[in-house]
């Protein structure tokens, strides 16, 4: 990217300064590492040398990863010409065939791969050519935008200037680098020596917001679709103390929504920048100053520094104040390319006719009022489809309008009343109702940039199958969305859905991970936060041979092993204690993973409440006939009050684990109900469990004494096991994992004065902290999944099962107890599915940790 970073100066510096000149400032942040500008400079230099001498044409995937960023900067640093594309096999194949690049760089099987297709270059590249991008809406089309090094540098500087980017800023990637808006975030922050947080997570994923806080994010960029997701996840209620500004571009956003976010930003202390741009102008052409967003939310604002906007009169004569918006500035592209020969061309465009119709208001702000290409004639009437969409959006209907010769076709999301929409459109367009057709879709189709896919809607209007079918082919011929819908009992599953976003819990996690592992092979770390489309794409890249190597989620393995140890020890087939206490730590880990998602406060509380009910209600119902038939138990057991009321000896203590788990969750429900605690957890997700762990250890070491009659296994004394697991679930850095790895043996050793029991807990907890997956086989996965998914119910029922066979065969007693537990768990799950289906706005099935 920058010539000073290489042994041989590159001919075209992008930003006009050296990466290394920013020294030890943080350049890139991921979930696993931070990279300084000095280190980034060295990596770029090494990668650039590996690309060889002479200018070459490089097709590369614009992914939000360190490998992709380093490669992109290295390609520019070496004076080569990158063509940034999305990570899509069809797009890559199409553009490779059309342009015959010299080098292809892309992720394959989870690893970054650079393929040298030939030495040197087969393409003549103009000296000014610096970058190729697909035009908006034409991904995979051979028509590309030719951008120069000067275009990139000028637009990066202009954006950094009007946003006031500081060296302390850290922007989190919400858009792919193959999209000009996402790429401009990288450019504008690098030019100021600021940081960029790289992630492919959606803003709908809880892990995205955990990373945002942990990385001290200050900037957030979004297209209108992003803001729709922000509304769904309760962004307005999130506590983001580091957030300094939010930017919006990539299409028109409803003025009322602009005003709402501007007001939210004013209350919360951050600015909203509404921006306007096109790929043909590198990224940005205009912006709306934050102080104007409340009063003029419908405007695109003023030209970016160094640019100029004017209006080209129309030949229609309708309104002399309205003209086509024309932009001139140093960021205007060189021109288009439609074949390899076009890459040798110099500048063919000097100003950009945007195709947007606009007017300049009395306050000096520009406002888009329509688009030339979005006009259509139906029944001889000239219709502005963009204005029609804006009117429907003002009525609360998100739509995409297209037209045929005799019809206006309106695609809407399910929930809109088709008859009402037809009458509204007919009235506003002045056409008969029969000339309006409404197509209801689960969601409007969108491009990777987040914009509505007009081509797909047009194809639907013509009765054709869209060019990119909604249900792509899944591995092994299985529809992953159907699997999610079945196991999570949801009817609103899309390719953008994630396990956590659909309300997945620890019990469904077990079944889902085993099922997906059978279909996809080894699952990536954090799969539960990944969209289904990303899981499918990742599986498609893995060679068939490696897909046969099975793995097992560590939490599933620990739960399966623990319940076998618990039941086998009670039967006295062997004596290996510690499984129940290890399960408490695994429960804490699950609590951190599934209950503390970035959702509104009330939704969190509902999730924990329903989780408690999912544990308590089946257990209480099971214990009613047990108490009636066996005098060893009492009503305290049915009501799960034996730990609170006693006695704490004899058979009535058989269910201590279940009671302790319920009590712990009830206490945490009360704690998280306090808004102050909820806000603190969102800001400091690792500090809260660490503080509660310290409190639990104070009880464990009798610094905080409990009553003399309290037995060892009371909630107060056992809470620190749960807190250890909770902290492990939030230990996202190596330093935090090391802290817990040292802390666990120090606190466990000496607690029981039984080395084997303590070793079971320490070894299991260490695996929980460091090993997301364990090597396995398909058979082991099926057995472990069944045992882990029913571990709570096997613990509940085994007390009544094993005595029936204990005298005949202890092994048979063990197998029978586990089998009954699995059957009872299946019955509970089936009964749950018979209940009325939950509405999509809820978190989905609740999460009983164990």
What's the CA gap between 315 and 337, in Å, rounded? 29
Model pLDDT, residue 450: 67
pLDDT tens digits, residue range 539-561? Answer: 655 544 444 467 888 999 999 99
DSSP string, 642-670: HHHH---SSGGGTTHHHHHHHHHHHHHHH
Model pLDDT, residue 347: 94
C-alpha dihedral sign at 662, 668, 670, 672: negative
Model pLDDT, residue 547: 45
Model pLDDT, residue 829: 80
Model pLDDT, residue 466: 53
The answer to whether the beta carbons of residues 246 and 261 sit under 8 Å apart is: yes
Model pLDDT, residue 691: 95
DSSP string, 600-653: -HHHHHHHHHHHHHHHHHHHHHHHHHHHHH-TTS-HHHHTT-HHHH---SSGGG
Nearest-10 Cα torsion for 154, 160, 166, 168:
-90
SS3 396: coil
Model pLDDT, residue 544: 45
Give me 308's structure tokens: 């100029």
What's the CA gap between 87 and 104, in Å, rounded? 12
Check: pTM over 0.75? Answer yes or no. no
* Lookup result for tokens 């406002």: 367
- CB count in 10 Å sphere of residue 769: 24
| Domains in the chain with CATH codes | 3-360 (3.40.50.12780), 379-461 (3.30.300.30), 479-554 (1.10.1200.10), 555-834 (no CATH)
Smallest Cα–Cα separation from 785: which of 611, 486, 480, 556? Answer: 556
Strand partners, 310: 326
Model pLDDT, residue 540: 54
Exposed, middle or buried: residue 749 (CB in 10 Å: 0-12, 13-18, 19+)?
middle
Model pLDDT, residue 302: 97
Residues of the chain below pLDDT 50? 1-12, 467-471, 543-548, 708-709, 711-713, 836-850
How many angstroms from the chain centroid is the CA of residue 497? 9
C-alpha dihedral sign at 134, 135, 139, 144: negative
**CA–CA distance from 329 to each of 307, 360, 495, 747 (Å)?**
4, 18, 39, 65
């Amino acid at each position: 990217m920058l010539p000073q970073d290489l042994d041989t100066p590159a001919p075209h510096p992008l930003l006009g300064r050296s990466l290394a000149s920013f020294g030890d400032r943080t350049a890139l942040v991921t979930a696993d590492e931070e990279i300084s500008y000095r280190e980034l400079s060295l990596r770029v230099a090494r990668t650039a040398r590996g690309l060889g001498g002479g200018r070459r044409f490089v097709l590369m995937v614009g992914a939000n990863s360190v490998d992709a960023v380093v490669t992109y900067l290295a390609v520019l640093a070496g004076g080569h010409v990158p063509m940034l594309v999305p990570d899509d096999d069809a797009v890559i194949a199409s553009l490779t065939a059309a342009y015959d690049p010299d080098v292809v760089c892309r992720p394959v099987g989870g690893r970054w791969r650079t393929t040298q297709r030939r030495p040197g270059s087969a393409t003549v590249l103009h000296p000014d050519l610096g970058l190729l991008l697909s035009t908006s809406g034409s991904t995979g089309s051979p028509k590309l935008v030719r951008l120069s090094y000067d275009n990139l540098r000028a637009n990066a500087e202009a954006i950094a200037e009007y946003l006031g980017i500081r060296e302390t800023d850290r922007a989190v990637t919400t858009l792919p680098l193959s999209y000009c808006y996402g790429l401009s975030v990288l450019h504008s922050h690098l030019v100021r020596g600021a940081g960029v947080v790289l992630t492919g997570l959606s803003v709908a994923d809880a892990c995205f917001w955990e990373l945002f806080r942990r990385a001290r994010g200050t900037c957030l960029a979004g297209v209108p679709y992003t803001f729709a997701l922000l509304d769904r996840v309760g962004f307005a209620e999130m506590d983001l103390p580091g957030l300094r500004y939010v930017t919006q571009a990539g299409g028109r956003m409803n003025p009322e929504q602009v005003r709402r976010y501007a007001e939210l930003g004013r209350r919360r202390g951050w600015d909203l920048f509404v921006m306007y741009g096109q790929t043909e102008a590198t990224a940005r052409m205009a912006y709306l100053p934050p102080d104007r967003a409340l009063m003029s939310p419908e405007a695109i604002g003023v030209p970016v520094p160094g640019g100029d906007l004017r209006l080209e009169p129309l030949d229609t004569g309708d309104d002399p104040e309205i003209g086509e918006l024309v932009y001139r500035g140093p960021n205007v592209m060189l021109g288009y390319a439609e074949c390899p020969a076009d890459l040798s061309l110099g500048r063919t465009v000097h100003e950009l006719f945007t195709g947007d119709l606009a007017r300049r208001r009395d306050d000096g702000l520009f406002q888009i009022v329509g688009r030339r290409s979005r006009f259509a004639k139906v029944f001889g009437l000239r219709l502005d489809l963009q204005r029609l969409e804006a009117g429907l959006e003002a009525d609360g209907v998100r739509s995409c309008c297209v037209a045929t010769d005799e019809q206006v076709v309106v695609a809407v999301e399910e929930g809109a009343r088709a008859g009402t929409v037809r009458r509204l459109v007919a009235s506003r367009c002045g056409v008969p109702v029969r000339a309006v057709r409404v197509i209801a879709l689960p969601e409007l189709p969108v491009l990777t940039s987040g914009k509505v896919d007009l081509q797909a809607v047009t194809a639907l209007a013509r009765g054709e199958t869209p060019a990119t079918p909604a249900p792509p082919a899944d591995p092994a011929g299985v529809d992953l969305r159907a699997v999610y819908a079945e196991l999570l009992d949801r009817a609103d599953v899309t390719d953008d859905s994630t396990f956590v976003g659909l309300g997945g819990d620890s019990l469904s996690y077990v079944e889902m991970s085993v099922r997906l592992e059978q279909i996809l092979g080894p699952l990536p770390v954090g799969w539960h936060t990944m969209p289904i489309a990303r899981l499918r794409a990742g599986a498609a890249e893995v060679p068939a041979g490696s897909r046969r190597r099975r793995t097992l989620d560590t939490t599933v393995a620990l739960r399966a092993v623990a319940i076998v140890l618990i039941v086998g020890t009670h039967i006295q087939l062997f004596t290996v204690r510690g499984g129940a206490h290890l399960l408490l730590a695994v429960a804490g880990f699950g609590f951190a993973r599934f209950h503390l998602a970035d959702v509104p406060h009330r939704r969190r509380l509902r999730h924990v409440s329903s989780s408690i009910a999912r544990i308590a209600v089946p257990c209480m119902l099971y214990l009613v006939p047990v108490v009636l038939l066996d005098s060893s138990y009492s009503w305290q057991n049915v009501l799960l009050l034996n730990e609170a009321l006693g006695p704490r000896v004899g058979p009535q203590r058989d269910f201590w684990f279940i009671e302790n788990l319920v009590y712990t969750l009830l206490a945490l429900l009360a704690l998280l109900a306090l808004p102050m605690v909820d806000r603190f957890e969102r800001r400091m997700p690792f500090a809260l469990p660490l503080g509660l762990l310290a409190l639990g250890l104070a009880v464990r070491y009798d610094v905080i004494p409990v009553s003399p009659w309290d037995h060892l296994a009371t909630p107060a004394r056992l809470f620190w096991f749960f807190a250890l697991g909770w902290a492990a679930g939030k230990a996202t850095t190596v330093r935090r994992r090391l802290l817990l790895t040292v802390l666990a043996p120090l606190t466990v050793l000496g607690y029981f004065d039984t080395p084997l029991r303590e070793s079971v807990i320490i070894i299991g907890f260490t695996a929980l902290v460091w090993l997301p997956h364990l090597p396995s086989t398909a058979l082991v996965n099926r057995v472990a999944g069944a045992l882990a998914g029913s571990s709570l119910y096997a613990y509940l029922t085994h007390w009544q099962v094993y005595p029936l066979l204990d005298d005949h065969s202890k092994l048979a007693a063990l197998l029978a107890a586990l089998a009954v537990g699995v059957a009872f768990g299946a019955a509970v799950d089936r009964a749950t599915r018979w209940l009325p289906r939950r509405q999509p706005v809820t978190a989905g099935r609740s999460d009983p940790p164990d």
